[in-house]
Amino acid sequence: MKPWFDFAFALEILPRLLSATWISVVLAVLSFALAVVFGVVLLLLRRVKFKLVGRSVGAFIEFIRSTPLIVQVYCLFFVLPEAGIILDPYTTGVLGLSIHYGCYMSEVFRSGLDSLPNGQRDASTALGFSARDTYLRIIVPQTIPRILAPSGNFLIYLAKSSPILATIGVAEIMFIAKDIGQENFRYLEPMTIVGIIFLILSAAGARCIRFAEAAFGRNWNQKEVPYV
Amino acid sequence: MITFFEKIVALLDEWGYLLFQGTLLTLGLFASALALQIALALAVGLGLISRNKIIRILCTAYVEIFRGLSTIVILFWAYYALPFLGVKLSAWTAAVLGLALSHSAYMAEYIRSTIQAVPKGQYEAARVLGMNDRQRMRYIIFPQALAAIMPLFGNELVMLLKATSYASLITLSELTEAGRSIVVRTFDALPAFVIVLTIYYLIAQALIFLNSLIELRISFWRTSEGIDRANAKRNSRLLKPKNLEVRR
């Protein structure tokens, strides 16, 4: 009779799982960076003067946000080749994650911008700032500390939903864990290790967010008004 | 030349029953997980603000662990790893348990924060009016917290609906899996996934709508119209001859 939790086996498979963790983390960070870019693009498109564009972008965001990520990833994975675009699973996965979370990010940015008091815009107009300077020097620096916490949450959500890429053949942590389980017919150890790794990762992520908030938020919110 | 619309109609005609079964399974999964989730979240959320330190620590640990783990990891663990500990769950039970456990942690946190966000003056006023702890919770704090939690709850409903699609990863043939199996058989991906996405979208919109109706009903007394109506009701009661006589 084997012990319930075989520590020797767990130690044996640990290196493989850790190297897969690395892949997962890189995928998540890459997707998040793309999601931020995509979110900004969607935000700008939503503010286009031509109403139809803004409305349809809004509807698109709403649609993506209320349908499951996994179906969207399947959609990309099966439909793109039919359209003649052949991408490897990694690219498809990153694309799927970044589109899905890009929509969330654009909502985060939008609420961050909307939460800024209108007086800030009025004041910079009164001071004769150009539109570009208003955004780059007044609006954006004040928005960043407000959106740090929700953005960080979405980074953690993104990392936590990345295991679904295993279904389209991305060799990330869950894929490797399932593989090990099938090879040795022991699922308990790999799955438990994956759980522990996820706990550590999300705790570390939460710590990083708190750190970023402390670093950015304080500097920008409480900067002294220079006397000129 | 077959148009896209005709393709969808043909697909619904041939595979409609599969999609219908999948939708039913998704809805069943959603409803079961939601019921369990609300029960768990209420217990844990109230435990988070308990006076008993041990209960508080246990509930905090619950929230931290299940929020830190991803839903998918919990599902996989419950379905693949638990049998090695001698507990064999069916895919359905594992899915309901996993979804409810991970999402109840989020909701418990919402419950705690909304209860604690009720202004301190409300607690003090209730105390001054001579209410005991139970009355204060029942008549003052809980109605306000409930009104505050409804928008978060609507968000959570959509999140749970989307999370039910993870059940397809542990061999449950709900809507996502139905769509995928159709694609594997017909080799035509776009129409099938468009239908699946649309079904999810419609369910989500219906949930949001229902939630907003409940929200309106619950927080009616907070709107100016609700306050007017409550005042009118009180005035009409005061102005009844019977009540006037008593006053005289």
pLDDT band at B1 (very low <50, low <70, confident <90, very high): low
Taking CB atoms and an 8 Å limit, are A187 and B81 in contact across chains? yes
C-alpha to C-alpha distance for A102 and A134, rounded to whole angstroms: 25
B→A contacts (Cβ < 8 Å), by residue, are 65, 67-74, 76-77, 80-81, 83-85, 158, 161-166, 168-169, 176, 179-180, 183, 188-190, 193, 196-197, 200-201, 204-205, 208
Which residue ranges make up each domain of chain A?
Answer: 24-172
Neighbour count for residue A79 (Cβ, 10 Å)? 18
Mean pLDDT, residues A138-167: 89
Closest to A151 in 3D by CA, of A108, A111, A112, A114: A108
Closest Cα in chain B to A4: B85
A-chain CB neighbours of B179 within 8 Å are 71, 74
Q: What's the pLDDT score for residue A227?
A: 45
Does A60 lie at the interface with B, CB-CB under 8 angstroms? no
Is A161 in contact with B65 (Cβ distance < 8 A)?
Answer: no
Contact A75 B165 (CB under 8 A): no
| pLDDT bucket at B163, cuts 50 / 70 / 90 | very high
Q: Residue range A165-170: average pLDDT?
A: 89
| ipTM for the complex shown | 0.86
Q: Enumerate the residues of chain A whose CB falls inside 8 A of the CB of residue B27.
A: none
Nearest to A70 by CA among B174, B96, B68, B203: B174
CATH class of A24-172: mainly alpha
Q: Which of A66-75, A129-138, B62-71, B156-165 has the lowest mean pLDDT?
A: A129-138
Task: Give the model confidence (pLDDT) of A180-218 as tens digits.
Answer: 988 888 888 899 999 999 999 999 998 988 888 888 765
- Which residue from B minimizes the CA distance to A201? B68
pLDDT at residue A228, as a whole number: 43
The predicted structure's pLDDT at residue B8: 84
- A195 CB neighbours in chain B (<8 A) are 69, 73-74, 77
Can you say whether the dihedral through the CA atoms of A34, A162, A145, B116 is positive or negative?
Answer: positive
Nearest CB among B67, B81, B169 relative to A167 is that of B169
pLDDT at A116: 87
Residue carrying structure tokens 């662990």: B65
Nearest to B190 among A79, A177, A194 (CB): A79
Global pTM value: 0.87
List CB contacts (< 8 A) between A86 and chain B. Answer: none
Whether the CB of A16 is below 8 Å from some CB of chain B: the reply is no
Please give the residue of chain A at the shortest CA–CA distance from B180: A74
With a cut of 50, say whether residue B136 has pLDDT above it.
yes
Phi-psi region of A117 (alpha: psi -120 to 50; beta: other; left: phi over 0): beta
**Cβ-based contacts of B176 with chain A (< 8 Å):** 68, 70-71, 74
> For domain B4-223, which architecture applies?
Orthogonal Bundle (1.10)
Q: What is the DSSP letter of A166?
A: G
- Asked if A184 is an interface residue toward chain B (Cβ–Cβ < 8 A), one would say no
* Higher local confidence (pLDDT), B160 or A220: B160
Our CA dihedral for A223, A213, B157, B123, rounded to 10 degrees, sits at: -70
Write the residue in A67, A71, A195 that is nearest to B73 by C-beta.
Answer: A195
- State whether B70 and A198 contact (CB < 8 Å): yes
Q: Is A72 on the interface with B (CB under 8 A)?
A: yes
pLDDT at A226: 46
Most confident of A81-85, B60-64, B84-88, B218-222: B60-64
How many whole angstroms separate alpha carbon B76 and alpha carbon A177? Answer: 10
A203 CB near a chain B CB, below 8 Å? yes
**B112 exposure class (CB count in 10 Å sphere: 0-12, 13-18, 19+):** buried
Indicate the residue of A163, A191, A199 with minimum beta-carbon distance to B68: A199
Place of tokens 């229902």: B210
More reliable by pLDDT, B241 or A96: A96
Mean pLDDT of B43-68: 93
Note whether A10 contacts B: Cβ–Cβ < 8 A.
no
Euclidean distance between the first and final Cα of chain A, in Å?
80
